[in-house]
Structures are given as C-alpha cells and as structure tokens.
Amino acid sequence: MTYVESIWSKSLAASANFCVASQQAALFCSDAATQSVEVAVKTPLTFFETLLRAIEAPSDSAAPKKDVVVEFVPTPKPAPAPVAIEDPAPVEDVADAVTEAAVETVEAAVEPEAPQPVEPAAKFQTLSAPRKGVADDLTKVKGIGAKLAANLNDIGVYHFDQIATLDAAGIDEIEGKLPGFKLSCSRYDVIGSAAALV
C-alpha cells in the first residue's frame, strides 16, 4: 500500500466516523425535541388535573366553624413619678444674665486683636564651608540625588535647614546656578522633605 492509498483509506474511515457521529447527534436532538414537547404538553395537563381533584374533593364543611373573637384588653400605664421642681429664678435675673453675656460676646468680637509681629523670612545664604566641618547628607532629601547633592555643595548649600528655608527668590537663585532645581522642587517637594529632616 502506498502512502497516498494509506491517506485515502484513513480519510474514508474518518468520513464514515463523521457520518455516524452526525447521525447520533441528529437522533439525540430529535429525542430531546420530542421529550421537550412531551414535557410542555404533559405539565399543564398534570397541573389542571390536580387542581380539579382538589376542587372536587369533599371539604370538612360538615363541622360547624367557630368564630374566633379576640378581645383587646389595654394594660394600665403606671402613673409618672412626681418631679420635684425648684423655685425658678426670677425672669429679671435671667434676662440680665443673658444681656451681660451677649454684651461680652459682642465686645470680644469688636475688639481688634493686636497685630502679631511678622518675622522676616530667612534669606537664602550660601556658606563657604559646612558648619563644624560636616555637611548633611543631602541625598536623604526626596528629589536630590548624589549628583545634585554634589552640585549643591559646590555652590555652598551643605545643610537641610538651608534648603528648608528657601523661598521663591532662593529657588530662583539656585535655579540660575543649577538648571532643573526648580523643577525638582515642584515635582518632589524638596523644601518640605528637607524641613522634615531639620
């Protein structure tokens, strides 16, 4: 048997198997359809037959029914305990007290507060060297890497408090020397992070 004949005989066997499978599927579907029709017809018939039997069945009407009477008997509520009432304060005393309290509240609201002295903001200052010869590790500040820390040290910024006290003018001054510092400040909240480390 050649290779082509082998393929041909296998394809004929597969075709026969497919035909058998399709016939069985058709039989199953027709059986399922027949069963569903039987259920659809028999179920309502069974229901109505049972209903008719229930209607035709003799009832226990021979025994006389007693009317049930429910009487409502209210339960008496206990009398409230007497409450001792003190002599009320004279109306004039209460009115005077309310008036005095209102006057004090209005006076407190009207009195201007003394202006608080405003401390001038610390101006950004660079240092020639770190205090006590030791610089803070500026890489602990969020948004400052090793390279930016080295550049800040080069321009005289060595400590957390120098960064924490920066105002807009100080940020602009550093931005002029180190482009990109202002972006780091806005993106990573460098000043707030430095203030937390002070």
Amino acid at the residue 139: T
CB 133 within 8 A of CB 177: no
pTM check: above 0.85: no
CB 153 within 8 A of CB 198: no
Q: Which two tokens stand for residue 13?
A: 């066997």
Q: How far is CA 149 from CA 107, 178, 192, in A?
A: 56, 11, 16
The reply to whether 114 falls in a domain is no
Given a cut of 80, is residue 145 above it in pLDDT? Answer: yes
The reply to whether 78 falls in a domain is no
Distance CA 52, CA 45 (A): 11
The reply to whether 126 falls in a domain is no
The reply to whether 98 falls in a domain is no
Say which residue, 5 or 40, is predicted with more confidence: 5
Domain boundary among 42, 58, 74: 58
Tell me the pLDDT tens digit for each residue of 152-187: 999 999 999 999 888 888 889 888 888 888 888 888
Tell me the pLDDT tens digit for each residue of 72-119: 667 777 777 776 666 655 656 656 666 676 667 656 665 556 556 545
**Buried-state track 89-127, b at ≥16 Cβ within 10 A, e below 16:** eeeeeeeeeeeeeeeeeeeeeeeeeeeeeeeeeeebeee
Burial of 157 (0-12, 13-18, 19+ CB in 10 A): buried
Q: For residue 177, what are the contacts with CB-CB under 8 A and spacing of at least 6?
A: 155
Q: Which two tokens stand for residue 58?
A: 């003799």
Distance CA 187, CA 183 (A): 6
Separation of first and last alpha carbons in the chain: 93
CB 162 within 8 A of CB 130: no
| Domain count within the chain | 2
Tell me the pLDDT tens digit for each residue of 10-46: 887 887 777 777 777 777 767 767 777 677 777 777 7
Domain boundary among 13, 35, 58: 58
The reply to whether 159 falls in a domain is yes
Q: For residue 171, what are the contacts with CB-CB under 8 A and spacing of at least 6?
A: 181, 182, 185
The residue segments making up the domain with residue 43 are 1-58
The reply to whether 97 falls in a domain is no
The reply to whether 28 falls in a domain is yes
CATH of the domain at 157: 1.10.150
The reply to whether 77 falls in a domain is no
Domain boundary among 34, 58, 82: 58
Report CA Rg, the chain. 49
CB 138 within 8 A of CB 160: yes
